[in-house]
């Protein structure tokens, strides 16, 4: 399958010397649409918008800086050429261009944390051998990965990379057993908080009897507490003949029974 014509607008990404040389070398006619008429170039404009939307999603999903937009767009185009299938031909763009199915076994999650083996700088005894970085994409000219090194603050290509393919922003440590026990105990209701409607009808009759006795005792205690608010408290073992005055009257102090002269 040979490409005969290519139509685009006058954007700098299409109208440049390297692309024109490529078209002349392979016998491709480069056509242009009318200025300020994007509807004549709908396929390319739709493709550009797809790349832009996907790149925007990847940047914000992984909390990357916007100055990585070029790396993200390149990675987006690299992935789409190998995974998107044409509806009619049922083949990817890579398969149509190369004549074979692409190998995507080396794909990793974009924006994940990775560790780059340091094979360039001289290391001392206790220096870091694998600095931490961020995975940005794939090299177009070699079988290597493009990563952002957090130590050198540069984007570099390397094949000696270990990936931590976890969901970005989900680095929560696992719960230990003590925390799980505390959480389970908080979720379990207390015996006095259990609703009677939630009790199984096949409950133990002994347990039901104990609950009835406990409820009767609680009711008796509440009734006694209400009666004690308006009555005088005294010990039942105290002889009634030694009680001065009415035993139902409020409690009085000793100063009440003193003569008035002694209080002067």
pLDDT (tens, 9 = 90+) of the chain, 264 residues, equals 688 988 888 888 889 999 999 999 999 999 998 888 878 888 878 888 899 999 999 999 988 999 999 999 999 999 999 998 888 888 998 998 888 999 999 999 999 999 999 887 778 888 888 999 999 999 988 899 999 998 889 999 999 999 987 655 444 344 444 434 444 454 555 545 445 444 444 545 555 555 655 565 555 555 555 555 455 454 555 666 766 666 676 666 666 666 665 444
Question: What token pair was written down for 134?
Answer: 């961020």
d(C-alpha 54, C-alpha 111), whole Å: 14
User: What DSSP element (H or E) covers 59?
Assistant: helix 42-61
Measure the CA–CA gap between 133 and 154, rounded to whole angstroms. Answer: 10
Query: Does 144 reside within a domain?
Result: yes
Domain assignment of residue 163, given as a range: 106-171
Give the number of other CB atoms < 10 A from CB of residue 94. 19
N-terminal to C-terminal alpha carbon distance within the chain? 127
Which has the closest alpha carbon to 230: 250, 246, 257? Answer: 250
Does the residue 130 lie in any domain?
Answer: yes
DSSP 8-state symbol, 99: S
Q: Please give the pLDDT value at position 37.
A: 83
Is residue 126 one of the residues assigned to a domain?
Answer: yes
Instruction: Supply the pTM of this predicted model.
Output: 0.53
3-state SS assignment for residue 215: helix
The pLDDT, as a whole number, for residue 174 is 44
Residue of 120, 159, 153 whose CA lies nearest to 141: 159
Q: Is residue 230 part of a domain?
A: no
> How many CA atoms are closer than 13 Å to the CA of 210, on its beta-carbon side?
5
As to burial, measured by CB atoms within 10 angstroms (0-12 exposed, 13-18 middle, 19+ buried), residue 198 is: exposed
Q: Using the Cα atoms of residue 58, residue 61, residue 62 and residue 64 in order, give the sign of their dihedral.
A: positive
Q: What is the pLDDT of residue 24?
A: 93
The pLDDT value given to residue 194: 47
Task: Please give the tally of structural domains in the chain.
Answer: 1
Answer yes or no: is 114 within a domain: yes
pLDDT the model gives residue 18: 93
Rg of the chain in Å (alpha carbons)? 42
In a domain, 139, yes or no: yes
134: in domain: yes
Asked whether residue 243 is domain-assigned, the answer is no
Q: 211-220 burial, b for 16+ CB within 10 Å, e for fewer?
A: eeeeeeeeee
Using CA atoms, how far apart are residues 67 and 51, in angstroms rounded to an integer? 16
């Amino acid at each position: 399958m040979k490409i005969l014509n290519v139509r685009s607008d006058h954007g700098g990404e299409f109208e440049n010397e390297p692309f024109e040389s490529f078209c002349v070398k392979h016998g491709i006619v480069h056509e242009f649409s009318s200025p300020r008429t994007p509807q004549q170039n709908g396929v390319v404009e739709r493709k550009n918008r797809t790349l832009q939307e996907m790149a925007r999603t990847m940047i914000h999903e992984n909390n990357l800086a916007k100055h990585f937009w070029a790396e993200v767009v390149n990675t987006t185009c690299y992935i789409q050429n190998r995974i998107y299938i044409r509806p009619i031909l049922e083949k990817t763009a890579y398969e149509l261009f190369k004549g074979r199915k692409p190998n995507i076994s080396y794909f990793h999650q974009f924006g994940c944390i990775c560790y780059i083996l340091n094979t360039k700088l001289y290391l001392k005894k206790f220096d870091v051998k694998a600095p931490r970085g961020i995975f940005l994409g794939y090299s177009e000219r070699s079988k290597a990965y493009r990563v952002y090194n957090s130590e050198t603050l540069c984007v570099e290509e390397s094949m000696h990379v270990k990936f931590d393919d976890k969901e970005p922003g989900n680095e929560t440590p696992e719960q230990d057993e003590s925390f799980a026990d505390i959480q389970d105990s908080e979720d379990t209701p207390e015996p006095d908080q259990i609703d009677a409607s939630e009790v199984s009808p096949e409950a133990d009759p002994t347990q039901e009897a104990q609950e009835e006795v406990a409820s009767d005792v609680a009711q008796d205690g509440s009734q006694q507490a209400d009666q004690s608010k308006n009555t005088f408290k005294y010990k039942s073992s105290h002889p009634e003949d030694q009680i001065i005055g009415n035993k139902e009257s409020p409690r009085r102090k000793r100063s009440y029974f003193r003569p008035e002269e002694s209080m002067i």
